[in-house]
Amino acid sequence: MPPQSGQPAPQWSPKDQAYMKEYLESHPDNRMAWYLLGKQYERSGEQGKANYCFNQAGDIYKAFENEPLPQETVEEQMKERTEREKRRRTKAAQLRAGLLAILFLLLLVLLPGGEAAAPDGMRLNVQQDKGHAPGPQEEIAGGTFYRLVAAGDDEGYAHVLRRILEKDRKRAGEDVVVRMQSDEAWLIWSRTPEPVLLASTPSEGGPIEMLPLAEPDCRCEEERQAANQGAALWAEASERRLIAKSALTAYVKQGKTAPDQWPAMAKAYPANSVSGTSAGIEQAYAEVLQVYRNGMARGAKRKRTEQALSRMWADEADPFREPIRIVVDKKRHRLGVVSGGILLRNYEVGLGGSRTPKGKFVISEKVVNPNGSSTGVFGSRGMTLSDTLYAIHGTNEPDSIGRDESLGCIRMLPDDVEELFDMVPIGTEVSIESDVLPGDLQVPDPEDRYRLDLTPKQDNPGKVYRWLD
């Protein structure tokens, strides 16, 4: 990600510095490259080497530093010092924003054949070679492609920029880099991610225009507002596709054929692989089903299924690359809904201390109003774990949430367990561990909860549940 106000610029590795010196051996007239190398020497305290590079940079150094070259006389430097420092104080914010443009140009010179136009305000025009083959479903002609990075992940941000610069120039459209916060080992999913960069590629191989949206001095309020709205819609759609992909994956892994429509998985108990439907999830399922079926090839059914699932989860248009899992943290009394290293939800739960076993389970059964009541001991929803007496369920003792008062089951608040019930299909993996989730809750506002229209008859009146409450 780009450096924020008050933070130092990312340092090059020795490998990066060696690469730049090698580049300059074959491109000694590239003054921007001399300038960038000089800045890195300056940050590492090697001022003599930095001054040599700045002298080679010539007018580029003056344009960015707004000061004479080091080789100019001391008398001239002393004469202009007072005025220069005054200009620096008044333009401090502009210089901080300029560091982001420098990072873009750094990536540019590391790519062969790169050229760049001088920045116009906060806009940077970049022209790259044509002909790079895009990854699977990476490019959407005339559309917007969102790329996710974690806050503080400089390496990830640099990788994203390289992908933008390397993509097929024949395809017009926009790339929006969005940032989400991270906590310990997890990237924290948000329905309102922060757009930090807008890269616009015109048709017919024109230069890319890059706007650093996260910089306060970026004169791009209209573009920033549009990017914020688009990123929120993208995040919501991505979450629905994840749920659709996870349900399809769990369904076919049970040896069943992927149904033509989502409602075929949302039947009455015990065929309620998913709990219900909505227009949004049906549309998302139709999209991922098409990708799944496009990945089917000839051969044995099992091999064809595995190949189709693998290709479906490799879709670069989605930030999620693994099915939904449930992770329970016994130490912190948390239940997380995760996909790979992304944490979508982090609920507070009640547990049973040593009576809650560690290990891996799967959701083998889902039931609405266990034992016939939404206000009973198991609340309005229950999910059996691997056909045992352990379950994830609601409770009529809300004060027990966050404590070890159950006989081994996982208790949840009503709104939490109902949202979870709608998100996860039968077959979802459940891992009970300790000290693996963040302590901060990750629970949507009431209006942002994921909800489906429940299929009728998902209760099971013929059975009395005796879970280890």
What is the Rg, in whole angstroms, of the alpha carbon atoms belonging to the chain? 27
SS3 402: coil
Dig out the tokens for 21 from the structure: 């010196």
- Return the pLDDT at 225: 93
Q: What is the pLDDT of residues 136-170, one digit of tens each?
A: 334 333 478 899 999 888 888 888 888 887 765 55
Rounded CA-CA distance 411/328 in Å is 11
Give the position of tokens 């749920």: 243
Q: Would residue 409 show up in a list of annotated catalytic residues for this protein?
A: yes
**What is the band of 99 on the pLDDT scale with cuts at 50, 70, 90?**
very low
Rounded CA-CA distance 377/395 in Å is 5
- Return the pLDDT at 72: 64
- Return the pLDDT at 217: 80
More confident residue, 35 or 320: 320
* H-assigned helices in 119-220: 154-166
Q: Pick the catalytic residue: 53, 218, 220, 393?
A: 393
Q: What is the pLDDT of residues 172-185, one digit of tens each?
A: 788 999 999 998 78
Mean pLDDT of the chain: 82
More confident residue, 31 or 452: 452
Q: What is the pLDDT of residues 349-397, one digit of tens each?
A: 999 999 999 999 999 999 999 999 999 999 999 999 999 999 999 999 9
Q: Would residue 333 show up in a list of annotated catalytic residues for this protein?
A: no
- Return the pLDDT at 206: 66
- Return the pLDDT at 218: 80
Q: Residues 193-199: contacts with CB within 8 Å, 24+ apart?
A: 193/148, 193/231, 193/232, 193/234, 193/235, 194/231, 195/224, 195/227, 195/228, 195/230, 195/231, 196/1, 196/2, 196/149, 197/2, 197/161, 198/174, 198/223, 198/227, 199/164, 199/174, 199/175
**What is the band of 80 on the pLDDT scale with cuts at 50, 70, 90?**
low
| Mean pLDDT value of segment 102-127 | 46
